[in-house]
Amino acid sequence: MTAKAKLLSDYRSPEFTIDQIDLTIELEPQATRVTSVMQVRRQGRHNNPLVLEGEQLQLQSVAIDGRMLDATGYSQTDTHLTIAEVGDAFELNIVVMINPQANTSLEGLYLSDGAFCTQCEAEGFRKITYYLDRPDVLARFTTTIIGDASQFPFMLSNGNQVAKQQLDDGRTAVTWQDPFPKPCYLFALVAGDFDLLEDSFQTMSGRHVTLQLFVDKGNLDRADYAMASLKNAMAWDEQVYGLEYDLDIYMVVAVDFFNMGAMENKGLNVFNSKYVLANARSATDQDFNGIESVIGHEYFHNWTGNRVTCRDWFQLSLKEGLTVFRDQCFSEDMTGSAVNRIDDVAIIRSHQFAEDAGPMAHPIRPQSVIEMNNFYTVTVYNKGAEVIRMMHTLLGADGFRRGMDLYFERHDGQAVTCDDFVQAMEDANAFDLSRFRTWYQQAGTPEVSVTDHYNAETQTYTLNFSQQTPATADQSDKTATHIPLRIGLYDDTGAAIPLNTEAKLTDGNVYSLLTESASVTFDHVKTAPTPALLKGFSAPIKLNYQYSDVQLLTLAQHCEDGFTRWDAIQSLLARYIWQIADGETSTLPQNIIDGVLAIASDGEIEAALKARLLQLPTVNGLVNQRQQIDIHPLLNALDVIREQLASALYDCCLALYQQLQQPDYQLDAESIAKRSLSASCLGWIAAANPPAADQLCVALYNNSDNMTEQLNALTIANRFDLASRNSLMDQFEQRWQDDGLVMDKWLNLQGCWNSEQCFGNLAKVEGKPFFKLTNPNRARSLIAGFSAMNYRYFHAQDGSGYQWLAEKIQNLNSINPQIAARLINPLTQWRKFTAPQADQMKAQLEQIYQLSDLSKDLQEIVGKSLGH
């Protein structure tokens, strides 16, 4: 049966609310008893029954105000409990039994390597007990956990611990009380035996907050960086936004079985261990950056998500887009590097633009949804963050802070909408954001086309803008939106030209494009300039302007904005990759080769930025530049460009590589930048001279004392299938086979292996004892490594790559539908490709769609992809 979509337009306030809930949870792996005592109130004048959500629950009893109801007093379905006769205010007591051990979906209460754990966002609480499982019902939670203290010495929940007692039967009861009303998606429970890292933080008002990180036994030496990141995040939020933590204790628990990166449950954050555990031996620089970002993200949710939460799930970007923006700014301030912005944009262009152009296109505030888990997307999160960033750009840092202050003043303790946030920004600054609201209502990637004219006699330069948003799968008609364009002009030497214009530019030379077309003229421009039209990626758009090769080289070599430099070199290389793929040329012009070599040789360019400037465009980014492509000529063209540039860069990159070697591992911005550039150089060396690179990889792997450099060596050996590849992979496996997080890196490389042996190798890897489809990290590492990164073999001519992924999706459908839905994405892009690839991908989707037990998660995505 096809699931029915829920519509934003159908939103109605809850007919009942719950002011207080007292939970008693008696832990047993297969038979956990959950008793809930709720104080319920009718809202509004109506006589409707009370309808509660619940799934996979064994109902034991229902009582109202102490009166036990028999089966005539309520009715049940697989998803709801309905009580017909209720008063206007009453106490509701419900007892259910649940089976955490059988819960492989990892939603609700489940077991993670012997520890009890919860994940309730978005709709997991209904797998714990019957409840009004919606974010606009805010209740105060008191939770008593009962269990065997010898087996579960730590029994944790939201808020502050208020009681602990030994029961007559030998079990222990621990009670937690959260003083802040919250929706049930923020409920958390963890019970297990962990190692504990404890610290404290003094808030700006002088309060002392206890900080606790719980990790699996034996991993305490890998928790220090997460703790330091947490303290940095707490200090940053006070300094930048004046936001102080509000409980006596803040807890983070790292678990290995987790569908998401982490969860911001009030006072008790549950994290995927990937984003907590790290030391130099086991984690890369990228891992450390990820930990800092995610630790910050979940902490920042305390105010942007918890104290002010979503009215309904269509407003998800209210908390996620805003908090991603905050964690991006936090990371930028911690590193002080331009490359953070480049990396953020790369995600938008490689993944979010594809989503906008695909079957699951939706605005950052969707209009309809079948399975809410499917809308935890790069559109809601990352494009949502770009929309918040645009407001920050338009209002300035001070104006944005005024808007945030007003938002909290108005809405602390409430469940609100995206409109409420924009209204606070508007009111705090007397700034008209009416046109800007289109970003929340409209799917798709706006395209801004630009023409220009230089008048030498009057020394004026005019830019003509026009905007349009192509039709998307969910919307055909689009309207003009508010697009902030940060502009710069440069002369032939790369020197910046002052911007003199009668047009209104906000701070940072930002021009607001508000209509379908507009023009702006600059005076006192002595020579025809090179324009930079989207500095800092000031809006998540596609920009169409006919740059010459010389103009792009000028921006790549001289612009002060790191993003613009990277964007220029990416655009230049992409131009010739497509020309080679289309058969229009066979070589890269010498002046462009010389320009890239000049960048590599420029000692003034910061190492981290140079590493990005020496990157080739990604396949995903290139695929998004056209409506439909033949994938194999594109891959061949990339190989041609890589070989030509590698030959020219070899001597420079070899010299750079030798200069960049560091005697000792240091985790600071300069050292991280050097390792990043060193890895880039090693890749170019491998492309030009595999035997020389092989020797360097072996030496780097054997002589390094840190995971970053060892994995760099392994990655290059794997990518270029160097002679040492198998030996190094075996050594790595022998060293780390008992460490799941580290083996995720190995699994990912196995999926990426660009070799004729890849399919036989995948079957061999799947048989390894440490690979389990039930573990989301293991499944993601191998499956996404193959389907999202091994382009040549995923798109194998005989369709075997698509078949391999489809088999994994069918297996995951019954194990963990959330993960299946996230991993199926490469198949849903079938319309982007020509035959026979498109037909083969579609055939696999049709087969999946016919599954008799197809989950709602997959039904929505596959159905939309096929147009059903």
Q: Where are the alpha helices (DSSP H) in 208-255?
A: 224-241
Domain ranges (residues) in the chain:
1-193, 594-626+635-866
What 8-state DSSP symbol labels residue 348?
A: I
Q: Is 298 a catalytic residue?
A: yes
Summarised one tens digit per residue, pLDDT across range 106-131 is 999 999 999 999 999 999 999 999 99
Summarised one tens digit per residue, pLDDT across range 484-520 is 999 999 999 999 999 999 999 998 999 999 999 999 9
Mean pLDDT of 829-849: 97
Q: How far is CA 781 from the centre of its chain?
A: 15
Summarised one tens digit per residue, pLDDT across range 159-200 is 999 999 999 999 999 999 999 999 999 999 999 999 999 999
Which helix or strand (DSSP H or E) is residue 486 part of? strand 483-486
Closest by CA position to 89, among listed 136, 42, 36, 140: 42
Which helix or strand (DSSP H or E) is residue 392 part of? helix 384-411
Provide the strand spans (E) within 122-277. Answer: 140-147, 154-157, 160-166, 172-177, 189-192, 195-202, 208-215, 249-255, 262-263, 268-272
Residue 754: CA atoms inside 13 Å, Cβ hemisphere, count? 15
- What whole-number distance in Å separates Cα of residue 816 and Cα of residue 157? 25
Which helix or strand (DSSP H or E) is residue 338 part of? none
- What whole-number distance in Å separates Cα of residue 754 and Cα of residue 749? 10
Number of DSSP helices (H) and strands (E) in the chain, helices first: 28, 34
Residue 3: is its pLDDT beyond 80? no
Confidence of residue 607 (pLDDT cuts 50, 70, 90): very high
Mean pLDDT of 232-258: 97
**pTM: predicted TM-score of the whole model, two decimal places:** 0.97
Q: Which long-range contacts (CB under 8 A, 24 or more apart) does 241-244 make?
A: 241/303, 241/326, 241/401, 241/404, 242/204, 242/405, 243/302, 243/303, 243/408, 244/203, 244/204, 244/205, 244/207
Confidence of residue 333 (pLDDT cuts 50, 70, 90): very high
Residue 777: CA atoms inside 13 Å, Cβ hemisphere, count? 21
Summarised one tens digit per residue, pLDDT across range 676-724 is 999 999 999 999 999 999 999 999 999 999 999 999 999 999 999 999 9
What is the token pair recorded at 812?
A: 């995951």
- What whole-number distance in Å separates Cα of residue 188 and Cα of residue 179? 15
Residue 173: CA atoms inside 13 Å, Cβ hemisphere, count? 14
What is the token pair recorded at 9?
A: 């337009």
Count of C-beta atoms within a 10 Å radius of residue 471: 12
Which helix or strand (DSSP H or E) is residue 53 part of? strand 50-53
Say if strands 140-147 and 16-26 run parallel, antiparallel, or are unpaired: parallel
Exposed e or buried b for every residue in 163-189, given b needs 16+ CB within 10 A?
eeeeeeeebbbbbbbbebbbbbbbbbb
Return the residue matching tokens 């030959």.
647
Say if strands 208-215 and 195-202 run parallel, antiparallel, or are unpaired: antiparallel
pLDDT of residue 326: 98
Q: How far is CA 643 from the centre of its chain?
A: 33
Q: Where are the alpha helices (DSSP H) in 277-315?
A: 285-300
pLDDT of residue 741: 97
Q: Does domain 1-193 have CATH number 2.60.40.1730?
A: yes
Length of the chain: 868
Residue 565: is its pLDDT beyond 70? yes
Q: List the 189-192 sheet strands across, edge first.
A: 108-112, 115-119, 189-192, 154-157
User: Do 381 and 324 contact (CB within 8 A), yes or no?
Assistant: yes
Distances (CA, A) of 173 to 25, 94, 95, 193: 9, 19, 18, 16
pLDDT of residue 357: 94
Summarised one tens digit per residue, pLDDT across range 280-330 is 999 999 999 999 999 999 999 999 999 999 999 999 999 999 999 999 999
Say if strands 58-64 and 505-506 run parallel, antiparallel, or are unpaired: unpaired
Return the residue matching tokens 């147009």.
867
pLDDT of residue 336: 78
Residue 1: is its pLDDT beyond 90? no
Q: What is the 3-state secondary structure (H, E, C) of 622-640?
A: HHCCCCCECHHHHHHHHHH
Closest by CA position to 56, among listed 129, 127, 104, 115: 127
Superfamily of domain 594-626+635-866: Peptidase M1, alanyl aminopeptidase, C-terminal domain (1.25.50.10)
Count of C-beta atoms within a 10 Å radius of residue 102: 12
pLDDT of residue 441: 96
What is the token pair recorded at 420?
A: 């409420």
Domains 1-193 and 594-626+635-866 belong to one CATH topology: no
Amino acid letter for position 14: P
Return the residue matching tokens 């998660």.
857
- What whole-number distance in Å separates Cα of residue 488 and Cα of residue 505? 12
What 8-state DSSP symbol labels residue 242?
A: -
- What whole-number distance in Å separates Cα of residue 594 and Cα of residue 449? 30
Summarised one tens digit per residue, pLDDT across range 822-838 is 999 999 999 999 999 99
- What whole-number distance in Å separates Cα of residue 237 and Cα of residue 303? 10
Residue 338: is its pLDDT beyond 90? no
Largest CA distance in the chain: 96
User: Do 295 and 275 contact (CB within 8 A), yes or no?
Assistant: yes
Summarised one tens digit per residue, pLDDT across range 533-562 is 999 999 999 999 999 999 999 999 999 999
Give percent of the chain above pLDDT 90. Answer: 98
What is the token pair recorded at 146?
A: 């009962």
Amino acid letter for position 246: D
Closest by CA position to 625, among listed 637, 609, 639: 637
* Positive or negative torsion for Cα 785, 643, 616, 624: negative
CA dihedral 95, 97, 100, 105 (to 10 degrees): -80
Count of C-beta atoms within a 10 Å radius of residue 94: 25
The 3-state DSSP class for residue 509 equals coil
Q: Which of 107, 121, 298, 709 does the annotation list as catalytic?
A: 298
The 3-state DSSP class for residue 770 equals coil
pLDDT of residue 2: 67
Mean pLDDT of 390-412: 98
Which range is least confidently modeled, 335-349, 589-603, 742-756? 335-349
User: Do 659 and 687 contact (CB within 8 A), yes or no?
Assistant: no
Sorted by sequence, the CB contacts under 8 Å of residue 727 that are 6+ apart come out as none
* ∠ Cα 701 706 707 (to 5°): 75
Confidence of residue 740 (pLDDT cuts 50, 70, 90): very high
pLDDT of residue 847: 98
Summarised one tens digit per residue, pLDDT across range 360-384 is 999 999 999 999 999 999 999 999 9
| CA distance between the termini of the chain | 13
